[in-house]
Chains A and B, each alone.
Chain A
Amino acid sequence: MRSWKTTFSLAILSALTLSAAAFSEGYVGIFIFSLIINGVMAVSYDIPGRSIDLISLGHAVFFGLGAYFFGIAVSMGFSFFPASILSVLLSTATAGMIVLLTAGLSHGYYSLATLGILIIFQRLFETLEGVTGGSAGIYIPEPISKFQCALLAALLLLATAGCHALFFRSRWGLYSKEAKADEDAAEAIGIPTRKLKVLCLMAGAIFPCMAGVLYLARNSHINPTSGFSLTLSITALLASRIVPIEGVLGPLSGVLLITAAEEFIWTKFDGFNHAWFGLILLGAAICQGIDFRNLKKRIH
């Protein structure tokens, strides 16, 4: 059972890496790059999403932080590698503070707080015009080639998938299964649930920061709306939820479906992209609510 999932996951990851190496320019290049970035966002979202069942509506905060810190560092004259290391460190530290602030919250409250944080950062980066460029955002010269960006993004996706697989096979993954089933019972048998939550949330926060860096390095422009985007958060949420398969294969196949659907919606139904996302979310939620086992019994 596990082997076919691993085979499919590896096939998707290899296909994406090869495509990133083969097509880095033009429309196909942009599409492959957005597939990889969405993949990093969804797989990283899936670590806390699936292990402790927390719905974050502000996953894009980490992406925006990474991109903005990188943009500011490059504007100050740093070259690509020092700027990216500095921005990942700074955004991870900020992400750590956000995680510590929200880790104790229960389900609905966590979603609410993360949405609030997303709006705070969006408005904050609009207000700090001198540093962030206000609502117009930051423009930077291309620090590395598009080919290098695509390859680095593919490597990042591999690392995220590796972390996902390792996490769920580690003792923390087993702890998370227990905590998800019954948090109080898990605590009673000695599982450090708070530590588990912080670890899951941090594991899910670091990779989007790096994805933000690579996004800005490829596109040369970021603004508060595209950086701290609710749509990006929802894409990650959808991709992680839409395919009910455990492991990396779930979010990876979700990303392929959602990014393709996103592309189709943008070109064919411009102006209704949120509505389509909404329909998919509604469908996914209702499917979750249907008790298929009971339904089968009733049919029989």
Chain B
Amino acid sequence: MIQVLISGLFLGGVYALLAVGLSLAFGIMGVLNLAHGSLAVLGAILYKKSLVLYPFSPWTFCVLATPVFLAIGCLLHLFIAAPFRNLPPPAGVVASLIASLGIALILEDLFVWWQGWEPISTYITFPTVHLLGLKIPGMRAVLLGMTAVAISLCTLFMKKTDPGRSMRALAQDPETASLYGIRPGFTAMSAMGLATILAGLAGVFYSVLYPLSPREGLDLTLKALFIVVAGGMGNLRGPAVAGLVLGFVESFAGFLFTYTSTDIIVYSLLVSYLAFKRSGRRQ
């Protein structure tokens, strides 16, 4: 049972990382990015392809790939957020939702074409740690640590740096932020870049822990969105906690029932939560 709990902790960590990026994009730009999970799959594929060139460790790859993810995020911003900036709220959300769904579908087919149907797995052997009679896989522990570092760095960036403060100001009141000299377009683009970095890292970590299907992007997005809704849109601590909870739920459901039942339980939780929680409803 404790082993299942530990497994849930590792899985929850990766989900939390994925959800924090999505929360950032929604909080600052109001974009429900349905391609967020596909960006995680892209991260996993890039890592797998890079392993053919050189046996990078996940942490070296993450540092090296950060500018690439940033550039991809900025490019993505031009398609799913920038064209809809001047639309009124419901129309803007709907248009960006459709555009991001389009991007997710394009990426899915490109991934299958590039990588084939086989699951993406970058499992690396690493010594197992024995602690109080429990077997803790070393790589998972390292990745959990890296996830914690990534989320903490992101929180620090948002709270202590000027670009982070600009992003928060833009999220609170775009018009007043513009009056204070904040460039909305550039700041939103940077936020999308940061969200993409987090998605990419989550994808790399996920593929080290579990095999990832090239068509799993929408599934990952849906889980991340669930975490964001449960943890609260636009903040970073809530999704991190909700991610851990989802990791535990999924691990326990997998332990007690079958894989298909796990999905039914997780998505039923999502729909019930949306239907009965006030945040999903029109205020």
Residues of chain A whose beta carbon lies under 8 Å from any beta carbon of chain B: 53, 55, 57, 101-102, 104-109, 111-113, 115-117, 119-120, 123-124, 126-127, 183, 230, 234, 237, 241, 271-275, 277-286, 288-291
Q: Are B267 and A116 in contact (CB-based, < 8 A)?
A: yes
Residues of chain B whose beta carbon lies under 8 Å from any beta carbon of chain A: 32, 79, 83-84, 86-87, 90-91, 93-99, 101-110, 112-113, 218-219, 222, 225-226, 229, 258, 260-261, 263-264, 267-268, 270-271, 274-275, 279-282
10 closest cross-chain pairs (CB), A and B: A278-B105, A281-B102, A282-B102, A289-B83, A275-B109, A278-B106, A285-B99, A109-B280, A285-B98, A278-B102
Distance of A102 Cα from B84 Cα, bound (Å): 26
Known: A104-B281, A277-B102, A281-B98. 7 other contacts (CB 8 A): A101-B275, A113-B280, A275-B109, A278-B108, A282-B99, A288-B91, A289-B86
26 A-B interface contacts by CB (under 8 A)? A53-B94, A55-B98, A57-B101, A102-B275, A104-B275, A105-B281, A107-B93, A107-B94, A111-B32, A112-B274, A113-B274, A113-B280, A116-B271, A119-B267, A127-B260, A275-B105, A275-B108, A277-B105, A278-B109, A281-B101, A282-B98, A282-B103, A283-B102, A286-B83, A288-B95, A290-B83
Residues of B near A104 (CB, < 8 A) are: 275, 280-282
Residues of B near A107 (CB, < 8 A) are: 90, 93-94, 97
B264, chain A: closest CB distance, angstroms: 5
Known: A113-B271, A113-B275. A123 touches B260 (CB 8 A): yes
Q: Are A123 and B95 in contact (CB-based, < 8 A)?
A: no
Q: Are A280 and B102 in contact (CB-based, < 8 A)?
A: yes
Known: A106-B282, A272-B109, A275-B109. A241 touches B102 (CB 8 A): no
Q: Are B97 and A111 in contact (CB-based, < 8 A)?
A: yes
Q: Which of A116, A123, A126, A241 contacts B98 (CB 8 A)?
A: A241
Residues of A near B32 (CB, < 8 A) are: 108, 111-112
Distance of A229 Cα from B108 Cα, bound (Å): 16
Distance of A274 Cα from B38 Cα, bound (Å): 14
Known: A55-B94, A275-B106, A281-B99. A109 touches B274 (CB 8 A): yes
Most buried by B among A183, A282, A284: A282
Q: Are B280 and A115 in contact (CB-based, < 8 A)?
A: no
Q: Are B109 and A271 in contact (CB-based, < 8 A)?
A: yes
Distance of A183 Cα from B282 Cα, bound (Å): 9
In the complex, what residue of chain B is closest to A127 when comparing beta carbons? B260
Q: Are B109 and A274 in contact (CB-based, < 8 A)?
A: yes
Chain B interface mostly helix, strand, loop or mixed? helix
Q: Are A119 and B263 in contact (CB-based, < 8 A)?
A: yes
B155, chain A: closest CB distance, angstroms: 24
Q: Are A285 and B263 in contact (CB-based, < 8 A)?
A: no
Distance of A107 Cα from B86 Cα, bound (Å): 18
Residues of B near A127 (CB, < 8 A) are: 258, 260-261, 264
In the complex, what residue of chain B is closest to A126 when comparing beta carbons? B260
Known: A126-B260, A282-B102, A286-B79. A120 touches B268 (CB 8 A): yes
Distance of A273 Cα from B215 Cα, bound (Å): 13
Residues of A near B260 (CB, < 8 A) are: 123, 126-127
Most buried by A among B83, B219, B282: B282
Distance of A123 Cα from B253 Cα, bound (Å): 14
B228, chain A: closest CB distance, angstroms: 10
Residues of A near B222 (CB, < 8 A) are: 112, 115-116, 119
Distance of A289 Cα from B271 Cα, bound (Å): 30
Q: Are B229 and A109 in contact (CB-based, < 8 A)?
A: yes
Residues of A near B229 (CB, < 8 A) are: 109, 112
Q: Which of B84, B90, B281 contacts A289 (CB 8 A)?
A: B84
In the complex, what residue of chain A is closest to B278 when comparing beta carbons? A104
Residues of A near B274 (CB, < 8 A) are: 102, 105, 109, 112-113, 116
Distance of A178 Cα from B279 Cα, bound (Å): 24
Residues of A near B218 (CB, < 8 A) are: 115, 230
Most buried by B among A116, A119, A291: A116
B226, chain A: closest CB distance, angstroms: 8
Residues of A near B107 (CB, < 8 A) are: 278
A68, chain B: closest CB distance, angstroms: 16
Q: Are B103 and A278 in contact (CB-based, < 8 A)?
A: yes
Distance of A105 Cα from B270 Cα, bound (Å): 13
Q: Which of B86, B106, B110, B281 contacts A282 (CB 8 A)?
A: B106
Residues of B near A120 (CB, < 8 A) are: 263-264, 267-268, 271
Residues of A near B106 (CB, < 8 A) are: 274-275, 278-279, 282
Residues of A near B112 (CB, < 8 A) are: 271
Q: Are B98 and A284 in contact (CB-based, < 8 A)?
A: yes
Residues of B near A275 (CB, < 8 A) are: 105-106, 108-110
In the complex, what residue of chain B is closest to A284 when comparing beta carbons? B98
Distance of A284 Cα from B105 Cα, bound (Å): 14
In the complex, what residue of chain A is closest to B264 when comparing beta carbons? A123
Distance of A126 Cα from B262 Cα, bound (Å): 13
Distance of A269 Cα from B281 Cα, bound (Å): 41
Most buried by A among B91, B98, B268: B98
Q: Are B270 and A53 in contact (CB-based, < 8 A)?
A: no
In the complex, what residue of chain B is closest to A281 when comparing beta carbons? B102
Most buried by B among A117, A272, A273, A288: A288
